[in-house]
Amino acid sequence: MVKTIQVWDVPIRLFHWGLVVAITVSVISIKTNLIDNQWHLYSGMAITALLSFRLCWGMIGSHTAQFRQFWPRLSALRAMLKHEWQGVGHSPTAALSVFALLGVLVWMIATGVCADDDISLQGPLAHWLVDWVDASVSDQASAWHAFTFNVMIGLVSLHLAAIAYYAWVKRNNLVPAMLHGKQQVTPALTDQYAQQTAHDHNHFYWRLSISVVIAAVITLVLFNTQVQSWLYAPPTVLVVPASTQAW
């Protein structure tokens, strides 16, 4: 006998589908001619906001959203390989996928905001690198960003392949759970989960507001030139007047 319980909260589900849309737009804008490549910058901004929120929510969010609750421990991975693992939320292998994708996205954003392809796209911090350091740093960031972008596409492809495998081979469709947030578990896990999530609603909206504000601030600092000018400015270049010739 199994019971259906609420596992994924609304913020996690909105993050998930928002990231799906943002990554799709990002790939289409740079790999095809269907939309203007300026949308690559807009989608990057959206990914930054979503990723910043997820990192905050992974620390102060609901039980199944917190990183410490699904950190892929070796014992759990062994149990998963032996088909002995039982739990609520991310499985150990799914957790590996989550952390891998989040790590790649962090590096992709970090290099993207500093990149400059010298053609049509320039990251919002690229001109600061030219003023503060050297243009070669921005060029290197562009190369790293392009490589990381392809790694991200590979991870997303593996994620989709895993979803298809679970749906067709194991007869376990994972997609609806990320729509309604519910999962079927055994009664023993239901009782355990109820105890673990007893305090999830405490200060929920305060924690949600803090995560949203932090995500908004990070996005503004990285992408808004006016905010950047308030926080830092390029070094002043001193102009030394030429000495007058003595007669």
Confidence band for 134, pLDDT divided at 50, 70 and 90: low
Q: Which residue has the higher pLDDT, 135 or 31?
A: 31
Amino acid at 158: L
Average pLDDT, the chain: 85
Residue 207, sorted as left (phi over 0), alpha (psi -120 to 50) or beta, turns out to be: alpha
User: In Å, what is the CA distance from 68 to each residue of 63, 73, 137?
Assistant: 9, 10, 35
Amino acid at 155: L
pLDDT at 210: 97
Residue 181, sorted as left (phi over 0), alpha (psi -120 to 50) or beta, turns out to be: left
pLDDT at 147: 95
Average pLDDT of 46-61? Answer: 96
Whether residue 244 is predicted with pLDDT greater than 60 in this model: the reply is no
pLDDT at 40: 93
pLDDT at 247: 46
CA distance 102 to 56: 12
Q: Which residue has the higher pLDDT, 233 or 186?
A: 186
Percent of the chain with pLDDT over 90: 47
